[in-house]
Amino acid sequence: MSGVTQRWVLDEIVDPYGAKVVVDRAPDGTVREARFDLAGLPRIDALLTGQQVAEVPSLVERLCGVCPAAHHLAGIRALESLAGGVDLPAAAVASRRLLHHASAIASHAVRAVGTDREGAVTLRRFAKAVMTAVGSPGHFPVTAVPGGVASRVGVEDRGRCLELLPAALSAAGRIAERTLPVPGPTDAFRGADVALVDDQGRPDLLGSRLRAVSADGEVLVAAAGTSGWDGLVAESAPGQPAPGPTSSPWDRGGAPTASGRSRNCASGP
């Protein structure tokens, strides 16, 4: 049918494994809410019940095909927390950080293909070199072990990363210059932004404290330790495959306020 143009409208995105995105529209057609409907998928906690504790890190790595490094590190840190916490060698901390940041670069580089294909390929090549250097050349990482890392960064791998670094920095700068001026979504997010931070409240993908900031910039939670997280985050749909995390922040006077939606600012364990 030459000369005929067809326009397809997707009212909902359907996943072959049972997940779909449900769009809730107002009478005037504007989108009020979009949410995942994962009714066809099992709860993760039920899958972990009864498993050997030492096997949990390798199991949670496969929760998400996009960010296995974050789950890998989170699983190992969970084991370490069961032992009351572990003081890691500085080199081990550095290797874990390299793994995490390189994984994030590799994931985000794909999004830049339409903007700067050469730059995206350069960034991904650099990220994979870094992940290989810290002992995780494959998709699922094996870098971290309880108490440290499985291996040290070799001299040759370090040299390879340094060789690729200038081109990666140039590509990242070029992509940022092209994409940052582009306006973002027009629909404002009215929930809380949640991120991991270090002891000083600075953003840290491997931080051990939780920080929450409201849409108007008010700090709701400054730096909550892991022992208090259960009191800060709850499920809006308890027991469901997509529980819908909500936060229970505090106002300036310290009194509980109404629960609100939240989103994480950066993937991290």
Q: Quote the pLDDT of residue 145.
A: 92
Where do the H-state alpha helices sit in the chain? Answer: 44-48, 56-60, 68-82, 90-109, 117-133, 155-179
- Tell me the torsion sign for CA atoms 73, 79, 85, 91: negative
64 is in an annotated binding site: yes
CA distances, 163 to each of 128, 168, 179 (Å): 13, 10, 26
Domain ranges for the chain, please list them: 13-42, 52-179, 192-264
Nearest to 147 by CA among 84, 224, 218, 99: 84
- pTM for this prediction: 0.74
Q: Give 56-111 pLDDT, tens digit per residue.
A: 888 888 877 778 898 899 889 888 888 887 889 999 999 999 999 999 999 889 88
Cβ-count burial of 167 within 10 angstroms (0-12 exposed, 13-18 middle, 19+ buried)? middle
Q: Quote the pLDDT of residue 259.
A: 38
**Residue spans of the chain under pLDDT 50:** 1, 14, 16, 249-262, 265-269
CA distances, 256 to each of 89, 151, 162, 189, 249 (Å): 39, 46, 49, 21, 6
67 in helix, strand or coil?
Answer: coil
DSSP letter for 62, please. Answer: G
- Structure tokens that stand for 73 in this block: 């590190």
Q: Quote the pLDDT of residue 28.
A: 87
Q: Quote the pLDDT of residue 183.
A: 75
Angle between the N-to-C axes of helices 90-109 and 68-82, in degrees from 0 to 180, rounded to the nearest 10? 150
Q: Quote the pLDDT of residue 256.
A: 35
d(CA 138, CA 211): 32
- At residue 188's C-alpha, the angle toward residues 185 and 193, to 5°, is 105
Strand-pairing partners, residue 194, are 212, 264
Neighbours of 215 (CB within 10 A): 13
Tokens 């973002």 label which residue?
Answer: 184
Cβ contacts of 240 within 8 Å, gap of 6 or more: 38, 39, 43
Q: Give 175-191 pLDDT, tens digit per residue.
A: 999 888 877 666 666 77
67 is in an annotated binding site: yes
Q: Quote the pLDDT of residue 184.
A: 67
